[in-house]
Chains A and B, each alone.
Chain A
Amino acid sequence: MSEFLASVERRAFKQCVYAVRDEDAALDIVQDSMMKLAEKYSTRPIEELPLLFQRITQNSIRDYYRRSKTRSTWISSFSSFGKSGEDNEDHDILETLETENEGNISPSPSAQLEQSQTLKIIEDAIEKLPARQREAFLLRYWEELNVAETAEAMGCTEGSVKTHCSRATDTLSKLLLAKGLSLESVLK
């Protein structure tokens, strides 16, 4: 179990960072997922752990979205009781979150500037993908799950996985090209 967790924890953490754009929240999600796997699924065979862990992690990310949505609904409700003539009329909780999160992400310590720049562009593009597209693309190609496993982890049909992956590839390549990153440099 420990070896398995060690082998997946970094990828899981990055997946969560791409999804929630907050390193502390991402770390909490990864820790919760590890705890759930260790506590509830200790009797499962080792070959079932990757899919189980992905399912738990994706559910935890969705729970985080739900909690954030509920929280922002409450904040909006309370702010409507506030003073109406103030600057916070146009306040958007997502804008605040984004600003806060930008300061929360540590800079890459990579010595190779070009590589780190390329990686940064790719990571930014992945963050910009719609949630389901990003989920499908990362599970399928980063976690190397097959279509059926990805569908099980995402709780959708295999057809949806294929559609999400196809759209994610299309969107990603366009985003990378827009940032001046050619397909040659992705292949390098």
Chain B
Amino acid sequence: MGVTMNEQDFGRAIAKKLNAGLADMPAEQVSKLNQSRNRAMAAYREPISILGLATVGGPSANSKFGWLVKPMILVPAAMIAIAIISANIWQDELQNDQNDGIDAAILSQELPIQAFLDNDMETWIKAGE
């Protein structure tokens, strides 16, 4: 024979021959494979990223439900933003209400006796004076 080949050379040589054969694949088989791929792509859901997080697949932008893609990203993002802002406003208002209540109680001298026994309260009053 006069030719020696190691396993890798042999494997690559066979792969090269097989690849050459792929180009001559009958048109009918190529067409069937195209159809199979198209069916698979019809079931394909492009991944949707919300706030940088990859989520399960949603409708493709090119699919007939593509118009859903933008609202599916924008609506949850807007809802999260509104929720954060509302929580901040509510917390500020709660704090203000508490401060107003304490001020009013001090002014009207309706503060419960326990409040004057509290060390922190005493420090706070002295600091105010």
Closest to A30 in B: B36
| CB atoms of A38 and B44 under 8 A apart | yes
Question: When the two chains form their complex, are residues B40 and A38 in contact, meaning their CB atoms are under 8 A apart?
Answer: yes
B-binding residues in A (CB < 8 A): 1-2, 5-6, 9-11, 13-14, 23, 27, 30-31, 34-35, 37-39, 42-43, 106, 108-110, 115-116, 118-119, 122-123, 126, 137, 140-142, 144, 165-166, 169, 172-173, 182-184, 186-187
Q: 9 shortest A-B CB distances, which residue pairs?
A: A141-B11, A34-B40, A31-B36, A38-B44, A42-B57, A43-B47, A38-B40, A183-B3, A119-B21
Q: A35-B40, A43-B47, A169-B11 are in contact. Are A108 and B21 (CB under 8 A)?
A: yes
- Interface residue B41 (Cβ < 8 Å from any Cβ of A): yes
Q: For A137, list chain B residues within 8 Å (CB).
A: 11, 14
**Once bound together, how far apart are the Cα atoms of A183 and B6, in whole Å?**
11
Total contacting residues, chain B, CB less than 8 A: 41
* Residue B127 lies at the interface, judged by CB distance under 8 Å to chain A: no
Partner of A27, one of B32, B41, B56: B32
Is there contact, CB below 8 Å, between B29 and A119?
no
Contacts of B17 in A (CB 8 A): 118-119, 122, 186
Chain A residues closer than 8 Å to B40, beta-carbon distance: 5, 31, 34-35, 37-38
Cβ–Cβ contact B54 & A43, under 8 A: yes
Chain A nearest Cβ from B79, distance in angstroms: 23
| Least CB separation from B25: chain A residue | A10
Tell me whether A140 and B33 are in contact in the complex, defined as CB-CB below 8 angstroms, given that A35-B40, A109-B26 are known contacts. no
Contact between B24 and A14, CB atoms less than 8 A apart: no
Assess whether A6 is in contact with B25, with CB atoms less than 8 Å apart: no
Q: Chain A residues near B20 (CB, 8 Å)? A: 115, 119
The distance from the CB of A128 to the nearest CB of chain B, in whole angstroms, is 14
Nearest Cβ in chain B — how far from A5, in angstroms? 5
Could you say which residues of chain A place their CB within 8 Å of the CB of B104?
A: none
